[in-house]
Amino acid sequence: MSTEIGEVLLENAPKKSQYIDPEIQKEILHIMANRVRQMVCEEIRDKCFCILVDEAQDISKREQMTIILRFVNNHEILTEIFFSIKNVSDTTSLNLKKERSNVHVHHNLQVKKIRGQGYNGASNMRDAWNGLRALFLRDCPYAYYIHCFAHRLQLTLVYAAKDVSVIWELFSHLDNIVTSSTKSIAELHDAQRNEIKNLLASGERDSGTEAN
């Protein structure tokens, strides 16, 4: 928080109006996010646009789908904006299409105006018959699919890293940790908590709200 805002909210404002409660802050962020999405939709209106989608697990192992819009704004500048993130029950192409269609309908984004789809190379995304790109091509034949360049770069780096044994071992160990079972992750969290307790006891780490 900036010094100017801190002086107003934490020093001069009444205690009940400091807006530092986590729930209040989340509500404020939610209002701001909705306003940004509204402004983006107003700028797109009837313009053509592209959509980038990716799916991944969050820290609690819940599946999520991120949606990014790419369009030319009112100043004729190519713009790429993070638009939404949705929790999904599974990552099948049909379910991803349903969730994405809900976003389109809710924000009045016309599917027929899509001119590009950018996904990774997973079969549920790129499959020519039943993948997410194929399902939307049936609704909009001009929504051409492009394999995400960031994912291409990742695949290139993975391939190159295989020739460097030290790097390959490091990422192999990290992959084992990240994709471990729930029991293994819980054990890792316990080990981290114990380490923090030891550091606090020895004075190597300070305590405080949200410090650890």
pLDDT value of residue 11: 67
Share of the chain above pLDDT 70, in %: 87
Q: What is the model's pLDDT at position 178?
A: 65
One-letter amino acid identity for 5?
Answer: I
pLDDT of 48 reads: 96
- For the stretch 14-39, pLDDT in tens is 666 667 778 888 999 999 999 999 99
Question: Which domains does the chain show, CATH number per domain?
Answer: 1-44 (no CATH), 47-147 (3.30.420.40)
- What's the mean per-residue pLDDT of the chain? 86
Among 38-42, 145-149, 167-171, the range of highest mean pLDDT: 38-42
Tokens of 203: 């004075």
Contact 128, 62 (CB under 8 A): no
Interval 141-151: pLDDT, tens:
999 999 988 88
pLDDT given for residue 212 in this prediction: 63
- Other CB atoms within 10 Å distance of the CB of residue 64: 14
Which whole number is the average pLDDT over 51-66? 86
What pLDDT is recorded for position 14?
Answer: 66
Antiparallel, parallel or unpaired: β 63-72 and 78-87: antiparallel
Least confident of 24-28, 68-72, 186-190: 186-190
- DSSP 8-state secondary structure symbol assigned to residue 210: T
Q: In this model, does residue 162 exceed pLDDT 90? A: no
User: Is residue 160 predicted with pLDDT exceeding 60?
Assistant: yes
Q: Are 50 and 69 in contact (CB under 8 A)?
A: yes
85 vs 177, higher pLDDT: 85
Q: Which pLDDT does position 13 carry in this prediction?
A: 66
Mean pLDDT lowest among 6-10, 91-95, 101-105, 193-197: 6-10
pLDDT for 140 beyond 90: yes
Angle among Cα 171, 173, 177 to the nearest 5 degrees reads 110
Q: In the predicted model, is pLDDT for residue 1 greater than 60?
A: no
